Amino acid sequence: MGKKRIIKKTEEELLRERDRVEVQVKKEIKVAPAKRISDGKIYIFSSYNNTILTLTDSGGNVLYWTSAGRIGFKGTKKGTPFAASKVAEAMAQAVKKLGVEKVQILVKGIGSGRESALRSLAARDLNIISIKDITPIPHNGCRPPKVRRV
């Protein structure tokens, strides 16, 4: 079969990739505000594979959304805390651009990005009213299968 070779990226390639991600985060956010929204909700959904942030108004209408895949992360890198913090930075820029004054944060899921996304949003000088965990929890689960007879 032969010897397996592991391809390692050089430091220059890693720096280039980081710069590419930074450019994607800072890229012009295209939002067309019809009116000024005073308060909104930010939903953080974090799974093992991705982190998705959604900004809605108080009625639940989506104003802006972004995810780790949309920013430029691919594969297993989408589920990392670093990717989640970059997604949160992009969301904070959109919130500032839309002029949302107060936000409620609702966190859902069990991924590794939920904590870092929350910390990044808090560090961006957003006026956070409340933080709530809305992860669904089974109270008794579904009915187990009947006993197997052999």
- Per residue in 28-63, pLDDT (tens digit) is 566 555 567 889 999 999 999 999 999 999 999 999
pLDDT tops 60 at residue 8:
yes
Instruction: Tell whether the torsion through CA atoms of 119, 121, 125 and 131 is positive or negative.
Output: negative
Whole-angstrom distance, CA of residue 117 vs CA of residue 82: 9
Enclosing H/E stretch for 40: strand 39-46
Helices 113-123, 81-98: crossing angle, 10 deg rounding: 40
- pTM of the predicted structure, to 2 decimals: 0.77
Look at residue 10 in the predicted model and tell me its pLDDT. 80
Say if CB 121 and CB 105 are below 8 A apart. yes
- CATH number of this structure's domain 35-133: 3.30.420.80
In the block, which residue shows the tokens 């000024």? 36
The alpha-carbon radius of gyration of the chain (Å, integer) is 19
Average pLDDT, the chain: 89
Look at residue 117 in the predicted model and tell me its pLDDT. 96
Percent of the chain with pLDDT over 90: 69
Look at residue 1 in the predicted model and tell me its pLDDT. 60
Which of 124, 130, 138 lies closest to 106, judged by CA?
Answer: 130
> Amino acid identity, residue 102?
K
Look at residue 39 in the predicted model and tell me its pLDDT. 93
- Per residue in 113-150, pLDDT (tens digit) is 999 999 999 999 899 999 999 999 989 888 999 999 98
Domain boundaries, the chain: 35-133
Whole-angstrom distance, CA of residue 8 vs CA of residue 33: 45
Tokens of 21: 């991600």
Instruction: Tell whether the torsion through CA atoms of 95, 17, 23 and 76 is positive or negative.
Output: negative
DSSP for residue 128: E
